[in-house]
Amino acid sequence: MSSMQSNSSANVTFVRPATFFINGFNIPHAKYYCVFLSLVYVVTVLGNSFIMCVIYLARRLHTAKYIAVFHLALSDLCGSSTLIPKVLDTFLFEHQDIAYEACLANVFFLYHFMNMQSLTLIVLAYDRLVAICFPLRYHAIVTKPAMFLIIGMVWILSVTFFSVLVSSVDRLSFCRSNVIDTYFCDYGPIYRLACNDTSLHSLLFKICFSLLIFTPLILIFSSYFCIAVVLFKIHHGVDRIKAIKTCSSHLMLVAIFYIPILSNSVASTITLLPPNVRIINNSLTQIIPPMLNPIIYTLKTEEVMQSIKELYKHSKVNTTTERRVKCNRRI
């Protein structure tokens, strides 16, 4: 292992590599896959930037619900920007060595923004729960200050937990290898390289997976169980369909985010996946949902589509007015 440095504390020596070597994407025609990743990233940036601009510019979307949607788009954009450019730099330009501190920072931001995506889906489920189960009290319960408070608490929870998770790596000694057999700095492969006790890190990793996947899914399923109970009590079919339509875009986001992750987890426990298959599956799981989320919200949400049309008409009127003013000035 190249350029190791040792720190001694409490009679324990911790050996840390100066760099890690990321050894992923050993697949045929890897450069074509990197080109695909770059296209996905461009669509992700354009799509999420567009939905954020629409929410910012359209006054009708200045509601508590769309604060959460804006936050989801921001989390998608930041998460993809943390992962994809670094993957392209690593494998397209063969910069596979990454500094120890930079690798840990990469772990923090990747996990944090993935967690933000997951927890924001819970916030949107809460919004739908109140809207359908307590429609008369919706505007009193789901207010803009309340939504900002919820998102602020989510950030504090996530930053605190993943700071502890990442800082726990400093308690490990890497005396064997510095080669990470995946396509990015991932907490699991990193702590498994250590040669001292990793039982605490294994527990933290399980808690992390629970925080990212199982707890949000349980809360979302619970909210939709309550929604289903209320919908069955609605006698008019038209009202029931309208209520279901308001949940359809959120349900699609939940399915796109969680089903691939759960499928990969189940597949890896049932059978031993080839490394290349596992790496491609995991990368697609992380990059596809942020690309699709703004498309789904744009096409499936009537309020957003109506706002886009209004903004387009408004910009067209402004352009026409400016041309007329210029023509009158010339005359």
For residues 257 and 328, what is the distance between their CA atoms, to the nearest angstrom? 54
Out of 1.10.10.10, 1.20.1070.10, 2.102.10.10, 2.40.440.10, the CATH code matching 10-300 is 1.20.1070.10
Q: What are the tokens at 250?
A: 């959120």
In the prediction, which pLDDT does 205 show? 83
Task: Give the residues across from 180 on adjacent strands.
Answer: 22
In the prediction, which pLDDT does 135 show? 87
In the prediction, which pLDDT does 10 show? 42
Low-confidence stretches of the chain (pLDDT beneath 70) = 1-13, 25, 317-331
In the prediction, which pLDDT does 153 show? 95
Task: Give the residues across from 98 on adjacent strands.
Answer: 20
For residues 30 and 35, what is the distance between their CA atoms, to the nearest angstrom? 9
Q: Say which residues have a Cβ less than 8 Å from residue 88's Cβ, sequence separation at least 6.
A: 34, 37, 38, 41
In the prediction, which pLDDT does 303 show? 84
CB 192 within 8 A of CB 201: no
In the prediction, which pLDDT does 291 show? 92
Question: How far is the CA of 323 from the CAs of 157, 203, 297, in angstroms?
Answer: 52, 65, 34
In the prediction, which pLDDT does 7 show? 45
* CA distance between the termini of the chain: 77
In the prediction, which pLDDT does 200 show? 85
Residue type, 199: S
What are the domain boundaries of the chain?
Answer: 10-300
